[in-house]
Amino acid sequence: MKDFMFVFRNDPSTLTDRSPEEMQASMQKWMDWIGGIAAQGKLIDRGNRLNPAGKVVKPLLAITDGPYIETKESVGGYTMVRAESLDEAAEMAKGCPILLFGGNVEVREIDRM
Amino acid sequence: MSDFAGFMIFLKKIKLLSSMAPAIRQQALKLKPYITMKDFLFVFRNDPAVMAGMSPEELQTSMKKWMDWIGGIAAQGNLVDRGNQLANEGNVVRPAKVVTDGPYIETKESVGGFIMVRAESLGEATEMAKGCPILSAGGNVEVRPIIRM
């Protein structure tokens, strides 16, 4: 088996105008999805969410405010899973609720040292 | 020339990891308590092509710089997780379950790896990121506060 990182990208503004009921429904979908991966013994690290605030440090120590590049595709969090192949990991990612809200999931293999 | 990927590849080549990892782990035991501090993710972005032309000497120089930088963070008790390098290949799963090959967006700014650090504030974490060797190879570091759930 190999380890993979799921990088979640979305538009943070889509999260702000949700009702408590919508947020609860969304959280339930995330729990169901991640719980399903964990139930198969394939969840390595449930990861973290990232605060929308942030800085980018660039060459010559230039610092820009805010998260990286397009705010519409800001990195919102990550999870680490185990799969036989990149294809199997991508199949797992297809269940991610972020896809229902215009976000996407980058699937990258971890290079263990 | 130095970058994160070059650093990792060099480690594999000369198998220095066995001597380096325990040192960092040992220092990580001094991790400051999570009380008034916050945790931050450093996301490293660079052009994977940069490392392709590195000589063994350049890789060694790069490795030394990364060890000094990460070791310095660990020595201050601020290294939460030394993170991982990401392989260059990858997929992106988009709405309607469309899967595209390759890592995200511009390969020149591909996510190459990450570490997690502890700091008083976003400003302090950003200061720590200024020492990252990736900056001297055209790469950059995104600094993001972790939301603990």
Instruction: Share the mean pLDDT of chain B.
Output: 80
Write the pLDDT tens digit of every residue in A1-59. 999 999 999 888 877 778 889 889 988 999 999 999 999 999 999 899 998 888 889 88
CA distance B90 to B99: 10
- Using one digit for the tens of pLDDT, what is the confidence trace for A70-104? 667 788 899 999 999 999 999 999 999 999 888 89
The 10s digit of each residue's pLDDT in B81-123 is: 988 888 888 888 988 888 887 766 666 778 889 999 999 999 9
Residues of chain B neighbouring A51 (CB-CB closer than 8 A):
144-147
Q: Which residue of A has its CA nearest to B7?
A: A113
Is the pLDDT at B145 greater than 90? The verdict is yes
Contact yes or no for B111 and A108 at CB 8 A: yes
> Which residue does chain A place closest to B137, by CA atoms?
A59
Distance from CA of B90 to the nearest CA of A (A): 5
The domain tally of chain B equals 1
Where are the domains positioned within chain A? 2-109
- Interchain proximity B140–A61, CB inside 8 Å: no
Instruction: List the structure tokens of A90.
Output: 């991508």
Contact B136 A51 (CB under 8 A): no
- pTM comes to 0.79
Nearest to A4 by CA among A91, A72, A66: A91
ipTM: 0.83
Task: Give me B36's structure tokens.
Answer: 């008034």
Cβ–Cβ gap B135/A90 under 8 Å? no
Residue B15 binned pLDDT confidence (cut-offs 50, 70, 90): very low
Closest CA to A82 of A40, A47, A54, A48: A40
Chains A and B form CB pairs within 8 A to the count of 135
> Per the CB < 8 Å rule, is A111 touching B85?
yes
Cβ burial A15-47 (10 Å sphere, 16+ → b, else e): eeeeeeeeeeebeebeeebbeebeeeebbbeeb
Q: What is the CATH number of the domain that holds B115?
A: 3.30.70.1060
Task: Give the three-state DSSP class for B135.
Answer: helix
CATH number of A2-109: 3.30.70.1060
What is the tens place of the pLDDT at every residue in B30-60?
A: 777 766 789 999 999 888 888 777 888 988 8
Tokens of B4: 């994160």
Domain holding B42, by residue range, is: 4-145
pLDDT at residue B1, rounded to an integer: 40
